[in-house]
Amino acid sequence: MYDYLIVGAGFSGCIIAREIAEKLNKRVLIIDTRNHIGGNAFDYYDENGILVHKYGPHIFHTNSKKIYDYLSQFTKWNNYQLRVLAYVDGKKVPIPINLDTINELYGLNLSEKEVEDYYKSVQLQYTQITNSEEVVLSKVGYDLYKKFFKNYTKKQWDLYPSELHASVCARIPTRTNRDSRYFTDKYQVMPKHGYTRMFEGMIDHPNINVMLQTNYNSIKKTIPFKRLIYTGPIDSFFNYKFGKLPYRSLYFKFETLDVETHQETAIINYPNDYDFTRVTEYKHLTGQKHNKTTIVYEYSSKDGDPFYPIPKDENISLYQKYKTEADKLNNVWFIGRLGTYRYYNMDQVVAQALTLFETELVKLPDI
């Protein structure tokens, strides 16, 4: 008999398992359908000995000292600030759009004040923002929207920005200075020995057991447990009774090159050219020294593992039906990107897991 069954061995599952095992001294079983822990943050050494992320680049960033300190129990860090280029009009320019992006793209020499005036001159005015296209047009106007956002969003989501919830493009800043960092959080770091090693430390506790390549439906009636934490797709839990929640998936083409470095930055986006959305060179992220390098081409797809909930109003309404069903259950909690049908950064997932433990699980009576 386990006190808790946790479905999913990613950030949410592993963090809650550790908290329950260590602070409540309860027995926990984590299961996952994949053959590894770590969820989409899983990394490994490829056949050439290069550390790669199996499911695309993961760069940890947060402004929360609490979250940084919590994860620091399980890993040492390398400081790393991500810089991304976008291949536009035959040039590689900084993204998010900043002062240098404008000057390089248009052959100008604007100052910070002048680029601010430039944005104002091209911005479209709306009384109410209703979608992601309007978000971008209200910030940078039509030409930059067309060069950086329109086709990239179509490749990524198979939807144009006008078809997507405003929150998608609202996450992307626009700058008037020369700050070329993709993130501006206080803590921007990478686990020194990789994410998988960090997760191994997290679940290294005598009260935690793990079963991989295990489906919840295959064991829910054979392994006894008292409470359930479910980080998988919420629609799957309810056997898709209201219909399937749509997701975008990704697939990756890895290539190892016989050179030390291949591109100027870890990530180069391709908004308009080619079928892939971006190319990542992992050694920039990990700081690994090696005489070869591995790059990955990233493609978006409607088929495959669920990566990104598609933020459209009808999808959010469908999720609410499942949430209403979930709220009726006792001793069952749904968390994480798949459990709550919402995009989260890694630090947000950590915060959600810790909050659930601190505000609810720690107060529960024994059963």
Q: Which of 250, 291, 284, 252 is nearest to 267 (CA)?
A: 284
Residues 226 and 318 in one domain: yes
In this structure, what token pair is assigned to residue 46? 């490829």
Confidence at residue 3, expressed as pLDDT on a 0 to 100 scale: 98
Sign of CA dihedral 16, 18, 22, 28: positive
For residue 23, is it within any domain? yes
- How far is 39 from 32, CA to CA, in rounded Å? 9
Residue 135 has a pLDDT of 96
Count up the domains in the chain and report the number.
2
DSSP calls for 102-114: HHHHHT----HHH
Task: Indicate whether 240 and 325 sit together in one domain.
Answer: yes
DSSP H or E segment with residue 301: strand 293-301
CATH code, 16: 3.40.50.720
Instruction: Kindly give, in sequence order, each residue whose CB lies less than 8 Å from that of residue 10, ignoring residues fewer than 6 positions away.
Output: 32, 37, 38, 39, 40, 41, 231, 336, 349
Which residue type occupies 276? F
Whether 191 maps to a domain, the answer reads: no
Q: Find the radius of gyration of the CA atoms of the chain.
A: 22
Q: Is residue 114 part of a domain?
A: yes
pLDDT at position 170: 86
User: Does 207 lie in the same domain as 166?
Assistant: no
Whether 194 is in a domain gets the answer no
Q: Which residues contact 301 (CB under 8 A, 6 or more apart)?
A: 248, 249, 250, 251
Confirm whether 55 is domain-assigned. Answer: no
Q: Are residues 225 and 344 in the same domain?
A: yes
Beta bridge partners of 86: 93, 269
Task: Determine the Cα–Cα distance for residues 272 and 107; give it in Å rounded to an integer.
Answer: 20
Instruction: Output the pLDDT for position 136.
Output: 96
Judgement on whether residues 232 and 115 belong to the same structural domain of the protein: no
Do 88 and 101 touch, CB atoms closer than 8 A?
no
pLDDT value for 172: 86
In a domain, 64, yes or no: no
| Predicted TM-score (pTM) of this structure | 0.95
Residues 94 and 147 in one domain: yes
Q: Which domain does 358 fall in, by range? A: 2-37+203-245+310-363
pLDDT tens string, the chain, 367 residues long: the values are 999 999 999 999 999 999 999 999 999 999 999 999 999 999 999 999 999 999 999 999 999 999 999 999 999 999 999 999 999 999 999 999 999 999 999 999 999 999 999 999 999 999 999 999 999 999 999 999 999 999 999 999 999 999 998 988 888 889 999 999 999 999 999 999 999 999 999 999 999 999 999 999 999 999 999 999 999 999 999 999 999 999 999 999 999 999 999 999 999 999 999 999 999 999 999 999 999 999 999 999 999 999 999 988 899 999 999 999 999 999 999 999 999 999 999 999 999 999 999 999 999 999 8
Burial class for 324, CB neighbours closer than 10 Å (0-12, 13-18, 19+): exposed
97, 179 contact by CB (below 8 A)? no
Strand 267-269 and strand 187-191: the pairing is unpaired
Dihedral, 314, 315, 316, 318 alpha carbons, nearest 10: 90
| Those residues with Cβ within 8 angstroms of residue 221's Cβ, 6 or more apart along the chain or in another chain | none
Residues 343 and 232 grouped into a single domain: yes
94/226 same-domain check: no
Last residue of a domain, one of 170, 185, 216: 170
Could you tell me if residue 293 is inside a domain? no
3-state secondary structure of 250: strand
Task: Give domain status of residue 42, yes or no.
Answer: no
Residues 104, 145 share a domain? yes
Question: What type of residue is 226?
Answer: K
Looking at 170, 193, 218, the residue that finishes a domain is 170
Residue (of 141, 102, 147) closest to 124 by Cα position:
141
123: its two tokens: 């911005």
Secondary element (H or E) of residue 142 = helix 132-144
Q: Are residues 219 and 354 in the same domain?
A: yes
Contact between 62 and 68 (Cβ < 8 Å): yes
Cis ω for the linkage preceding 191 (within 30 of 0): no
3-state secondary structure of 334: strand
Q: Are residues 138 and 212 in the same domain?
A: no
